[in-house]
Structure 1
Amino acid sequence: MSEKSPARVVPGYIDSKDDQLRRLRRIEGQVRGLQKMVESDTYCIDILTQVSAATKALEAVALGLLDDHLRHCISHAADGATPDLDRQIDEASAAIARLVRS
C-alpha cells in the first residue's frame, strides 16, 4: 500500500514573488549599510533614521504577504476548496497580532 503525497500548496504570493524578492534584497542591502554605518562610527540619529526605513520596508513586505494570504489562501478556503477555513482565519489573526505587536 503506497501513501499519497500531499498536494503541493501554491503560496498566495506566487504572483508577486519576484517583487517580494526584489524588496527583500533591497532591505538586505539596507541592513548591510547599517552595519557599515556602525563600523564607521556614524552619528546615532543617522543610524536610527536608517533603521526606521528598514523597519518600514520590512513592514511593507509583511503587509503585502498578509494581503496575498487573505486574497488567496483565505478566499480559497472560504470558497470551500479546502476544509480548514477556521484554522486559516486563526493563523491570519495570529499573524496580524504579531505584526501589530512588533
Structure 2
Amino acid sequence: MDEVHGYIENKDDYLRRLKRIEGQARGLQRMVENEDYCIDILTQVSAMTKALQSVALGLLNEHLSHCVVQAAAAGGPEADRKVKEAGDAIARLVRS
C-alpha cells in the first residue's frame, strides 16, 4: 500500500486555498502590467505571502501530527528521519 500523507483529509481545502493564491499571483501581475501604485502592489504581495505561510504552517502541522507521530510510534531510523525532515522544514520556513 502507498503511504498516505497527513494532509489528504484536508486536500480539497488546501487546493482551494492554493487556487486562491494562484488568483492573487495573477492579480499581482495585472497590477504591475497596469502600473498600479507600488504600495498597493506591496500590500497584495504581503497578503499573498501570509496566505502561503498559512498553507505551509497547515501542512507542517499535518506532517507533525500524522507522519512524525506515526514514525515515532514505530520507532527506529524512520522516526529519526521524519523528525529531521520536520526540523529542516521548520528551518526553511523561519528563513523565508
Superposed pair shares fold, TM > 0.5: yes
Secondary structure, aligned partner of 1:68: helix
Equivalences for 1:17-56 in 2 at 5 Å? 17-56=11-50
Q: Write the deviation string for residues 6-39 of structure 1: whole angstroms up to 9, x where unpaired.
A: x411111001100000000000000000000000
Distance 1:68 1:82 in 2: 21
Q: Which stretch shifts more, 81-90 or 41-50?
A: 81-90
1:9 to 3, 7, 16: 3
Distance 2:3 2:55 in 1: 21
Using structure 1 for the length normalisation, give the TM-score.
0.90
Using structure 2 for the length normalisation, give the TM-score.
0.96
Q: What residue number does 1:3 align with?
A: none
Name the amino acid aligned to 1:98.
R
Identity %: 66
Q: Which stretch shifts more, 32-41 or 78-87?
A: 78-87
Which structure has the highest helix share of the two? 2
Secondary structure, aligned partner of 1:9: coil
Name the amino acid aligned to 1:42.
D
Task: Give the RMSD, CA atoms, in angstroms.
Answer: 1.2
Once the two structures are TM-superposed, the CA of residue 67 in structure 1 deviates from its matched residue by: 0.2
Structure 1 residues not aligned, in runs of 5+: 1-6
Deviating runs (4+, > 4 A) in structure 1? none
Q: What residue number does 1:4 align with?
A: none
Once the two structures are TM-superposed, the CA of residue 79 in structure 1 deviates from its matched residue by: 1.3
